[in-house]
Structures are given as C-alpha cells and as structure tokens.
Amino acid sequence: MNSVRTIARLSRILERACTELTLPQYRLLALVADADERASALAGRLALSKPTITAAVDGLVDRGLVTRAVVEGDRRAVVIRITPAGKKALAAAERDMNERLQTVLDRCADPTAVVAAIDQLRQALDDAMAERMAAGTAGVAR
C-alpha cells in the first residue's frame, strides 16, 4: 500500500530532523510532557516492552530530561516526570520536525487538506489507543 510507504518515508524525514533525541525518546517525552506517567503505563501507551521503556527512560534520566519518583502508597511503582531541560529538548525537537514537515507540506497541492487528514489520523490513533487501554492490552493499534 502506497500510504504505508509514504508514512514510513515521512517518519524517516522527521527522525532525521530530530537530532538531539531519537524518535522513541521524543515519543516518550511527548507523553510525559502531557502528564506524569507510570513507567508501566508508558510501556502500554507506546506499545513497547517494559525493558525497552526502562532503557529509554534510563537514557533520558542520564541526560537530565526526565526524573523518576516513587509513587506514594506504592513503592514498587515509578512515575516519570519531565524536567525543564526535557521540556526545552522536546520544544526544540518539535520545532525542528515542524520545519522539516513544512518543507514537505509546501510541495502539496492543498496543504490545508493534508493537515486536516493528518489530524483525522491522529484522532483515529488516539481512539484506537483508548480502546486498547480500556481493554487492558498492549498490542499495536489496528
């Protein structure tokens, strides 16, 4: 399907624009920026294994972009919080990716329609994730 190949190409373009963070690190920071998250919830929302999340969080902690804190009342649970440096890195990555995306959109016959379609896709992904989380599964959205 050509749309799958196009999305894969676009992902690579955005990944190249994001020089200070990997795309998985960006995704993790973006989720944590919205609200503090438990590591286990991040694994489910990103459809990644807990060891993969742990490694990604370790790298971000080492760089001072997030912190870990024990959840009050549950010493086994850990919450991940974005730091001011993490917010700055996230903003820079989003600025760079938006600039790169804009160069592609500028080549479209109707950039407004493309942005509207992307927003519809975002909503569909959000809905699929909400359904998956409500069902208690960590599979990939279908």
Spell out the per-residue pLDDT of the chain, length 142, in tens.
Answer: 689 999 999 999 999 998 889 888 898 899 899 877 777 777 777 777 778 888 888 999 999 999 998 877 777 778 899 999 999 999 999 999 999 999 999 999 999 999 999 999 999 988 988 887 788 654 444 4
Q: What is the pLDDT of residue 130?
A: 82
Q: Parse the chain into domains and list their residue ranges.
A: 2-107
Angle at Cα 83 formed by Cα 94 and Cα 137, nearest 5°? 75
Tokens at 119, concatenated:
């927003």
Question: Residue 1 has what pLDDT?
Answer: 63
Q: What pLDDT shows up at residue 93?
A: 95
| pLDDT in the model for residue 94 | 95
Bridge partners (DSSP) of residue 80 are 37, 68
As a whole number of angstroms, the distance between CA 140 and CA 142 comes to 6
CA distance 77 to 141: 26
Under CATH, which number does the domain 2-107 receive? 1.10.10.10
